[in-house]
Amino acid sequence: MNLKKYCILAIDDDTDVLTAVRLLLKTEVKEIVTEKNPDNIPSLLTKQFDLVLLDMNFKSSINTGNEGIYWLKRIKEIKPDITVIMITAYGDIDLAVRSLKEGAADFVVKPWHNEKLMVTIEDALRKKSGKGKLEDSFANDSIIGKELIGESEPMQDIFYKTQKIAPTDANILILGENGTGKDLIAKAIHQKSLRANKPFVKVDVGALTETLFESELFGHKKGAFTDAKEDRLGRFESANEGTLFLDEIGNISLTQQAKLLSVLQNRQVTRLGTNISVPINIRLICATNLPLTELANENRFRKDLVYRINTVEITVPPLRRRGDDIILLAKHFAIIYAEKYLKPSIRFDDAALEKLLQYHYPGNVRELQYTIERAIIMSDGDLLQAKDLIFSPIETVPVNVAEDDDMKLSTIEKNTILHVIEKYNGNITKAAKELGLTRTALYRRLSKYEI
């Protein structure tokens, strides 16, 4: 892309950064202007700029990123159509992702590779001019098309956030209920990272006993304990140069947490039965079904470990909050299992689709997947009806107070919808967003409850 017609403004209180940007861009763009003091932004914007490179932090004693968010908003107030790329450090990636929601086009992590910065600038300007899409967009990626499916707003936010953090080495904490697809997101991050060609090693640490925990993660030497009949490489060493995914991290004991924290701090492991430390270089991704508030409980989980594993967090929404994604997933699973079980192309009648949308899915995507698989196995034709969809009794939440109408699930849902609609004075768009539904799905519920 030819940048010769574009004027760029770079704002950072680090003169070394400004010098590097100026040297990189002076022969590539029409004009590059650098500024150390953000207070001069309003006067500088009286001149025509196509793009602004804006630092996230200007006060080293504060270093919260709020200065960058503040100046981003000011720039957008003065020049709503101007393209802004944020400059951030690894520790501020979560704030940088927040800046995207405030109107930033993208962000770069310093220290950056010049080629990466140039591509980011070109993509942002190309997107502004409408000449193509981001080359690295998840929207066109087979990972999304084949595994991580979703058009709902919560999932689009996850796709975009994943796209931005994947190329970094930031530690990621994935939160969400069981069955929501946390492991798929972990794999997607690895496959879009710079470590994609290196190992991806998954460990369900919540299932490991105290003894197995050390042996599995850190390895052991022959004779280290009774059943140690040969040397064994631990999962940390197996994942060296790649990604280590620790699933159900919230279920490990305080003792296990202390051992894990020590390895993460020192970036080295010591196999059981030896005093020799081995350096490790991994990208860490963790997942848990516990809410972050429970992880912050010192009686259950060490806060210093939470900070260590949680440079950026991703919260995966439960299926019941994903609206019409339920239909997308159901049709996706129908294609897969029709082919697997040599069935004809499967369709859903309207009643079946409505039944899928109205169910609350305590088992999330995993429950939907098994429901569709079972329905296709038992089907005699190419049309699935509502009676063919039998949800697992394993996942059914017993309602022991069914006689109390106020506690029925349908009543709770209706009252919740009424409350949110009242909160937004009848604004369906805002109400649907808070409820995690599409407008269409909300209208269906309004009709169902005769609201």
Torsional sign, CA 1, 170, 195, 279: positive
Which range marks the domain in which residue 12 is found? 7-129
Flag whether 400 is in a domain.
no
Average pLDDT score over residue span 236-248: 94
Q: Same domain, yes or no, for 157 and 121?
A: no
> What's the pLDDT score for residue 65?
59
> What's the pLDDT score for residue 447?
73
Average pLDDT score over residue span 429-433: 81
Q: Is pLDDT at 405 greater than 80 in this prediction?
A: no
Listed residue (182, 8, 4) closest to 84, CA to CA: 8
Flag whether 82 is in a domain.
yes
Average pLDDT score over residue span 228-247: 89
Flag whether 38 is in a domain.
yes
Q: Is pLDDT at 186 greater than 50 in this prediction?
A: yes
Distance (Å, rounded) from C-alpha 157 to C-alpha 163?
10
Q: Same domain, yes or no, for 178 and 306?
A: yes
Among 147-161, 178-192, 380-394, which range has the highest average pLDDT? 178-192
Average pLDDT score over residue span 403-427: 69
Q: Same domain, yes or no, for 37 and 119?
A: yes
Q: Do 190 and 283 meet the contact criterion of CB atoms below 8 Å apart?
A: yes
Q: Is pLDDT at 105 greater than 90 in this prediction?
A: no
Average pLDDT score over residue span 59-71: 68
CATH of the domain at 435: 1.10.10.60
For residue 306, the SS3 value is helix
Distance (Å, rounded) from C-alpha 158 to C-alpha 227?
43
Q: How many independent structural domains does the chain possess?
A: 4
Q: Is pLDDT at 110 greater than 70 in this prediction?
A: yes
Q: Is pLDDT at 451 greater than 90 in this prediction?
A: no
The edge-to-edge listing of strands for the beta sheet with 283-288 is 200-204, 243-247, 283-288, 172-175, 312-315
- Please give the mean pLDDT across all residues of the chain: 84
Q: Same domain, yes or no, for 183 and 258?
A: yes
Taking 3-state DSSP, the helix, strand and coil percentages for the chain, each rounded to the nearest 5, stand at: 50, 15, 40
Q: Same domain, yes or no, for 113 and 249?
A: no
Give the residue, 139 or 386, on which the prediction is more confident: 386
Q: Same domain, yes or no, for 379 and 433?
A: no
Q: Same domain, yes or no, for 289 and 203?
A: yes
Residue 350 Cα to chain centre, angstroms: 33
> What's the pLDDT score for residue 129?
65
Give pTM, 2 decimals. Answer: 0.62
pLDDT digits (tens, 9 = 90+) for 320-370: 999 999 999 999 999 999 989 998 889 999 999 999 999 999 999 999 999
Examine the fold and report which residue of 282, 297, 315 is the final residue of a domain before the chain moves on: 315
> What's the pLDDT score for residue 59?
64
Give the residue, 44 or 89, on which the prediction is more confident: 44
